[in-house]
Amino acid sequence: MTVLKVEKFNDSKKSIQVILNNHIKDLEIFWDYKIKYKPLLFLLKSRSEIDYIREQKTDKKLVAWFWREKFLFILEPEKFESESVFQKKDFQKILKHELSHFFFLQATGGTLPSWINEGLACYLAGQKYQEVIDVDKVGRLISCHYQFDRSLFSYSYLLVDKLINYKGKNNFINFVKSFKKNINEKEFKILFKKFFQIDFNKKNIYQLLTK
């Protein structure tokens, strides 16, 4: 495992640090928020190294994660094609996705609701999805307050995208920044009604997504 430290950078790692710094600048502009500290980035060299750190055998879809409020782990881009289902070109989007979780935590103090956290990370990383909207999946999505259903990444992205376009980016950012740490479902629904003027329920969200 390689810890990115400036004095030990080779040219490849310097370029990754540049990518990280550029992503941070982009996210600070989006959030209108300057982070208190930068994350510590760890580059991983193999699937076996990921398994060792995670203390379990991992799926090849797992290449990066955010941990303990300040650590970002990600597989080296040169290893993406041999050690995962992704291509090297996916590295930047996946890094920005995980960095987005870092910003969400700093801006809100927490990680909830999980569907917004994941959908916003996809949105900010440019991981776009298209989907025929199914009302039952909408119901499953809005139930993902505390724990995210990983089969619903497309729905989380689409709803975040719709909310940003519905009332504007500033309204959405102010909405998310109003979350307190460990916001519960009742508190969330009150804030949702305040910022979007509709009740947060399956019928309304389905109608919003299919407009």
Low-confidence ranges of the chain (pLDDT < 50): 2-11
Provide CB contacts within 8 A for 170, sequence distance 6+: none
- 69/101 same-domain check: yes
- 76/144 same-domain check: no
Q: Is 42 helix (H, G, I), strand (E, B) or coil?
A: strand
Number of domain units in the chain:
2
Pick the last residue of a domain from 62, 83, 108.
108
Vertex 76, ends 75 and 82: CA angle to 5°?
80
Nearest to 62 by CA among 89, 92, 38, 98: 98
Pick the last residue of a domain from 68, 88, 108.
108
Distance CA 143, CA 107 (A): 23
Predicted local confidence at residue 10, as pLDDT: 42
| Tens-digit pLDDT profile for residues 167-187 | 999 999 999 999 999 999 999
* Cβ atoms of 89 and 19 closer than 8 Å: no
Vertex 89, ends 57 and 93: CA angle to 5°?
75
Amino acid at residue number 206: Y
Pick the last residue of a domain from 79, 108, 137.
108
Distance CA 90, CA 81 (A): 10
For residue 147, count CB atoms less than 10 angstroms from its CB and return exposed for 0-12, middle for 13-18, buried for 19 or more.
exposed
116 conformational bin, left if phi > 0, alpha if psi -120 to 50, beta if neither? alpha
- 68/86 same-domain check: yes
Helix (H) or strand (E) holding 44: strand 40-44
Predicted local confidence at residue 7, as pLDDT: 32
Q: Tokens 């776009």 label which residue?
A: 128
- 73/153 same-domain check: no
Predicted local confidence at residue 27, as pLDDT: 98
User: 22: domain range?
Assistant: 1-108
Predicted local confidence at residue 6, as pLDDT: 32
Q: Tokens 């804030």 label which residue?
A: 191
Tokens of 95: 């890094």
Predicted local confidence at residue 12, as pLDDT: 58
Overall pTM surpassing 0.85 (yes/no): yes
- 70/157 same-domain check: no
Distance CA 41, CA 71 (A): 6
Predicted local confidence at residue 9, as pLDDT: 35
- 57/120 same-domain check: no
Predicted local confidence at residue 61, as pLDDT: 96
Tokens of 200: 């947060």
- 90/44 same-domain check: yes
- 4/88 same-domain check: yes
What's the CATH number where 87 sits? 3.30.2010
